[in-house]
Structure 1
Amino acid sequence: MAMIKNAVVYRIIIGLLLLTIAGLVLKFVVLGRTGAEVDGRTTILLEPSERAVVLGEMRQFLSGIQQMLEAAERNDAAAIAKLARPLGMAAAHAVPAGLAAKLPLEFKTLGHSVHQDFDRIAMDAEAMNDVRLSLRQLGETMKKCVACHAAYQIAPASGP
């Protein structure tokens, strides 16, 4: 009888632990730290220093794309590859884990995909030396940037 009682207690404890883990995964992996939608976009709430990291990465994307367009105008696929490479997955690994945990899954998925796109642009520009292909790839990547900016805004969680 005592063994059955202990087994029930253990199952209840295991069940509660599993629910807790599922809740934490939902909060820190899927939902992130978000606020109310004001203009139809989900607001991602970050500390000012974290917000600066995310916005800085976006500015790097924008600057890199602008420079790649100039390289394309010169028909310089090697320069496109050189400019795209640092925007690839190597840059994604620089995001602190604590910050990544606050970002919604869809936002992280889009960002990850953009980093992968830059790796692909760099590899293809080197391998194929085809500036027109690089421009098409940049156009596809920019669609992801536009979709992300249409869906999300980054706001400080505290103070300016």
Structure 2
Amino acid sequence: MRMKSCCIPAALLLLVVAGLLYKFLWRGEVAPASDGRSAILMPQQERDLVLREMRGFLQAVQAILVAADRGNTQGIVDAAREVGATQQQGMPGTLVKRLPAGFKMLGFDTHRRFDQLALDAEQLGDTQHSLQQLAKLMTNCVSCHASYRIDSINE
């Protein structure tokens, strides 16, 4: 009988922890959006930070295209590194907990792909290969924008 009485609180604690992990690591703070996407809900300051990062991706894509057109592999390397994984450092924990797992996975993968693009451009010097990598990387951007939007909330 004593064994059963300690299992119930342990099971309840496990359920609470699992629920919190789901909320903060997997689901994030999202709501259905009127356009069929998931709306990620965050304060304006955090929204601005995420949108600034996305504009950085877009600026890097444009710089990579210009560099590839000019045969400038160092330009490709520099532009891709600007938005690589090191850019993720310093993201506030409050922001990370709001993001659903799918959004986080796309973001981490996009940063990683930019790093790989930079490394390959540096080592191979093949602008055509860089363009092929960029085309594949852009599927992350298209997928993310098709799935999510970011809505401001008051906090």
Using the size of structure 2 for normalisation, the TM-score is 0.96
Counterpart pick for 1:111 among 107, 113, 116: 107
Q: Which amino acid aligns with 1:68?
A: I
Q: Residue 89 of structure 1 aligns to which amino acid in structure 2? A: A
Gaps of 5+ in 2: none
Inter-partner Cα distance in structure 1 for 2:47 and 2:95: 9
Would you identify which runs of 4 or more consecutive aligned residues in structure 1 move more than 4 Å? none
Structure showing greater radius of gyration is: 1
Q: How does 1:1-160 map to 2 (within 5 A)?
A: 4-5=1-2, 7-158=3-154
| Alpha-carbon separation, structure 2, partners of 1:50 and 1:136 | 32
TM-score, normalised to structure 1, is 0.93
* Larger deviation, residues 111-120 vs 88-97: 88-97
Once the 2 structures are TM-superposed, how far is the Cα of residue 37 of structure 1 from its aligned partner?
Answer: 2.4
Determine helix, strand or coil for the equivalent of 1:144: helix
SS of match in other structure, 1:154? strand
C-alpha displacement at 1:47, in angstroms? 0.7
Q: Distance in 1 between matches of 2:50 and 2:35?
A: 20
Give the superposition deviation at 1:15: 0.8
The RMSD of aligned alpha carbons is 1.2
What secondary structure, in the 3-state scheme, does the structure 2 residue paired with 1:46 have?
strand
- Stretches of structure 1 that go unaligned for 5 or more consecutive residues are none
Q: How many residues align?
A: 155
